[in-house]
Structure 1
């Protein structure tokens, strides 16, 4: 079993080994050439032991993290769920028959911005609904109703904008614990040949 090694423990072993090999009687006290040289090596060996522990952790899904866990999961056909943009229906009002181009930008007071997905005509009533998608990703973009009220950069013929309902379908990237749970479920309870897991 790999055990973490402190630089002091490594240095003590290096000094002991040096004393066994030395035939000249050089001093190994602190501040001598031998001591300083072996001390520098001990620092690097300490780092190496720490890195070897990380390699061991990364080799197993239960202790892997980040990209290493993602690779373990992908080897079993389980893919990390990515963060997604939020969707929202905007109500745009302004001068009758104004054309609001696709990609028009609107936002909240907190600088969460949404772009329209289609060109829309405000018609005779001077109002129309259009789907918009957040520029950023994550569940924080599922903003509450009546918060998208800013016309970013100004827009000719558009007086106001609002979202009567909250934005939806914005999700954060799947966390390591969530991905590990799905991976272990796939591996430990394989759905094959109509077995009980297949029905689950």
Structure 2
């Protein structure tokens, strides 16, 4: 809004107000007196422009965005804690039990035992919030002494930890809620309820999927992958633990079925021309990382198929790649169709 209020424009305007019979050339007394004031005024206009953007939800950021959306009953999703499965064994690989609240560490990330699943298998909660709790697998080091413990293995991600919701993601969700308000158990309500559960990264709602009064809620986790059985169970209990009784947030009479999305593997093969700066293994690793991010970005977006041309462009952008030939997705050179209730998941990447 104040783009025209530059240092040069302000200084010229100030000099034009000085009588012409006074020396106004650069280096003159009046010029040197006005120049610092013009610079300060231009900075004020820059700050005014910045502050103006913070009073509209379209452009506000961080705490200002939170304050603007709060009167509408919406809140930013804060970082959540990952829940993982762990396996504990003693001599000869015999499962052993460990005390609740005992703590373990892997790669500097710590976990606390919260629930026994079965003999030698437990649920652990990460003590650090965010996606860091999802990243590591393998042998853990006990922080607390556990008698008879030989190996502690960190295994499945039961409920993914999620990072604090970004401005862009929160803004999108805010506008969705304002423009498609949730009322009396409509589709927007069920989607809103599913997203209120920590670890849920997306939801689709299919009304009347099995006759009158039935609702199917399909969910993915915070990493945009099919939800685990544990997360599905938590969302089911929150929305409707008993069909039609209104015990959860769903209205009386609603027969709600929460399920995980179906995964569609994306297997990539191709031949590339390298520029000699990197190995084929390094290129494959970088390409897989880029594709995983792309698949996550299109998860549960309507009509968001996996686009062959886009993946080809991404491959060319990988450092070390000069060109490619014979690129195939699941054995073909076309797009991969992703239907409702499905989510694309990276399978294998094999470049030669």
Which TM-score band (shorter chain)?
A: 0.7 to 0.9
- Aligned counterparts of 2:178 and 2:110: Cα–Cα separation in 1: 40
In structure 1, the gaps of 5 or more residues are 121-126
Query: Residue 73 of structure 1 corresponds to which residue in structure 2?
Result: 69
More strand per residue: 1 or 2?
2
How has the CA–CA distance of structure 1 residues 2 and 164 changed in structure 2, closer, same or farther, with 3 Å as cutoff?
closer
- Which of the two has higher C-alpha Rg? 1
| Partner of residue 292, structure 2 | none
What residue is the counterpart of 1:128 in the other structure? 120
Change in 2 beyond 3 A, CA 1:99/1:73: same
Q: Distance in 2 between matches of 1:42 and 1:84?
A: 48
Equivalent runs, 1:159-174 vs 2, <5 Å: 159-174=150-165
User: The residue matched to 1:60 in structure 2 has which SS?
Assistant: coil
Displacement of 1:100 in angstroms is 4.3
Across the two proteins, how many residue pairs are aligned to each other? Answer: 187
> Contact conserved, 1:4 with 1:50, CA < 8 A, in 2?
no
RMSD of Structure 2 on Structure 1 (CA): 3.4
Does residue 7 of structure 2 align to residue 44 of structure 1? no
- Give TM-score scaled by structure 1 length: 0.76
State how far apart, in whole Å, the 2-side matches of 1:167 and 1:194 are. 28
Q: Does 1:88 align with 2:84?
A: yes
Q: CA deviation at 1:154?
A: 6.7
User: 2:178 aligned with 1:181, yes or no?
Assistant: no
d(CA) in 2 for partners of 1:133 and 1:196? Answer: 32
Task: Between the two structures, name the one with larger relative contact order (CA 8 Å, sep ≥ 6).
Answer: 1
Other structure's SS at 2:46 match: helix
1:124 corresponds in structure 2 to none
